[in-house]
Structure 1
Amino acid sequence: MFKPENIENEFFHRIGFNFDPKSLTAGSVLISEPFLSDPNFSRSVILLTEYTEDDGAFGFILNKPTELEISDIVDTFPYSGHTFHIGGPVSSETVFFIHSAGSEINESRKIMDDLYWSGDFDHAKELIDLGKVTADQIKFFGGDSGWGVGQLEDELKHHSWIIGSLTADQVLAGDADSLWKRSLTRLGKKFSIMAEFPENPELN
C-alpha cells in the first residue's frame, strides 16, 4: 500500500519538482501536493495575483467552481452565464475577478501578459451587459487565498505546493474539474506520477 510519508524529499528534487520560493512572482501557479490535508486547498490550483517577500502572497483558487452564477450572488448583475468560483477561505463575502480585458475595465491591475485582476466592478458589469466582455474573458470569485510574510515560503519548504505556470487562456478556461491533474502533467512526464496518485492512499 502506498503511503505519502514513505516518499523521501530527495525524490521530489531528483525528478525536478520546483519548491523554490525565489521563482515565485505574480502570475505563478501553486499546485497542491496530492495529500494536502487542508480541505480548503485539497487538489487545488491557485493563481498568485500578487507576491513579494516583504508583503506575502495573494491569489485565487482556479478549480473550485460552484453551481451558482455571479448574477445569483449580485442581484444587480446582468444574467450572463458567468460561473461563480470559490477563490479561497479568506474574505469569503467579497467578490473578486480576474480577466483578460486589460484597460477596457477601468482600474485593472496587470498580473502578467494578457491577464489582469480587480478593476471597477460597476464598469465590468456594464461591459458584460453590452457584450464587450464575454464569459471566456473573466472569472469571478468569492473569497481569496492569502499568506502572510514567510508563510508560503514555509509551506513550500514542507512541499505542500509545486510551483508551475499557466497561460492567460488556461487560467480563464472553464475546465476546472481536470485542472489540477493537467497542471501537473503539463510540467512534463515526470509530474504525471504525482498526477495519478489516489486522493486517499489508504483506499488504494
Structure 2
Amino acid sequence: MSEKMKIEPKAGSLLISEPFLQDENFVRSVVLVCEHNENGSFGLVLNKLSILKLDELIDNILIPDFEVYVGGPVEQNTLHFIYYGKKLSETSIELANGLWWGGNFEDIVENISLGVLEKESVRFFIGYSGWAADQLNNEIQENTWIICDEVNSKNIFSSSPDELWKIILKNMGGEYQILANYPIDPRLN
C-alpha cells in the first residue's frame, strides 16, 4: 500500500474508488468527504448525475432546469448541496479553500437567482454516502478507496461527471496515472 493510501480521510478529502470496485453505487466514483469522525462518515458522490432536475423536486423554485446529482444510496429523499466561492450562508461549513457544504437552502437559491453565485459553482445532491464508525477506515485498509487530500475545487465543478474520476487520478500523478487509464472491464481489452 502506498503512502498516499494510508492517509486518514478528513472533511474535504476526496475518496476515489479503486478501478476494480463493482458496487454499482460507487463504480468509478469520486466522493467528497463532508464529515469523518469516531461516529462515522458522511460524503457526497460528485460524479453521478441523476435523471432529475431541481424544479422536479421542489415546487416554485426560482432556478429551473438545474441538474441534480446522486450523492449516494442513503436517504435519497434528502437534498444536499456544495458550492464554491465566498461563504453565502451563515451555517455553511468550509471543507476546503472556498469549498462550502450545506447552509440555508433559501440563501443559496436566492444567491443563484440574483447572479451572486454562478450556476457552475454549485451542485445539488439527492441522498448521500454514509459509513458507520470505522467502516470507511476498514474499506480504505481493504484498498477500496484512494484518498486525495489535494482538492482542486475548480475540477469538481468544471469537469464532466464522466471524466472527473480519471482527471483526479491523473492529477495525483505517479502510480495513479496508470490507474486512470484502466478499463472498466479488463476482459474487454
Question: TM-score, normalised to structure 2's length?
Answer: 0.91
- Asked if 1:195 is matched to 2:180, the reply is yes
User: Aligned runs of 1:58-137 on 2, under 5 Å?
Assistant: 58-137=42-121
Q: Give the deviation of 1:133 after TM superposition.
A: 1.5
The CA distance in 1 between the partners of 2:155 and 2:135, in whole Å, is 27
User: Aligned runs of 1:136-175 on 2, under 5 Å?
Assistant: 136-164=120-148, 165-175=150-160
Q: Which residue of 1 aligns with 2:15?
A: 30
Instruction: Name the stretch that deviates more: 148-157 or 124-133.
Output: 124-133
The CA distance in 2 between the partners of 1:72 and 1:133, in whole Å, is 21
- Structure 1: state its 5+ residue gaps: 1-12
Aligned partner of 2:181: which letter?
Answer: E
Pairwise CA RMSD of aligned residues?
Answer: 1.7
Aligned partner of 2:109: which letter?
Answer: K
Q: Give the deviation of 1:142 after TM superposition.
A: 0.4
Instruction: Name the stretch that deviates more: 146-155 or 67-76.
Output: 67-76
The CA distance in 2 between the partners of 1:68 and 1:106, in whole Å, is 28
The CA distance in 2 between the partners of 1:132 and 1:80, in whole Å, is 16
Question: TM-score, normalised to structure 1's length?
Answer: 0.85
Secondary structure of the residue that 1:136 maps to in structure 2?
helix
Q: Give the deviation of 1:103 after TM superposition.
A: 3.0
Q: Give the deviation of 1:140 after TM superposition.
A: 0.4
Instruction: Name the stretch that deviates more: 133-142 or 186-195.
Output: 186-195
Secondary structure of the residue that 1:42 maps to in structure 2?
coil
Q: 2:26 aligns with which of 8, 21, 41?
A: 41
Whether the 8 Å CA contact 2:63–2:109 is kept in 1: the answer is no
State which structure, 1 or 2, has the greater radius of gyration over its C-alpha atoms. 1
- Asked if 1:185 is matched to 2:157, the reply is no
- Structure 2: state its 5+ residue gaps: none
Secondary structure of the residue that 1:184 maps to in structure 2?
helix
Instruction: Name the stretch that deviates more: 116-125 or 69-78.
Output: 69-78
Q: Which residue of 2 aligns with 1:4?
A: none
Q: How many residues align?
A: 188
The CA distance in 2 between the partners of 1:17 and 1:86, in whole Å, is 30
Secondary structure of the residue that 2:109 maps to in structure 1?
helix
The CA distance in 1 between the partners of 2:125 and 2:26, in whole Å, is 15
Q: Give the deviation of 1:123 after TM superposition.
A: 1.8
Misfit runs of 4+, over 6 Å: none
Percent identity, aligned pairs only, is: 35
**1:72-115 per-position Cα deviation (integer Å, ceiling 9, x unaligned):** 22122223543110100011010100012443223111112101
Whether the 8 Å CA contact 1:88–1:144 is kept in 2: the answer is yes
Aligned partner of 1:166: which letter?
Answer: V
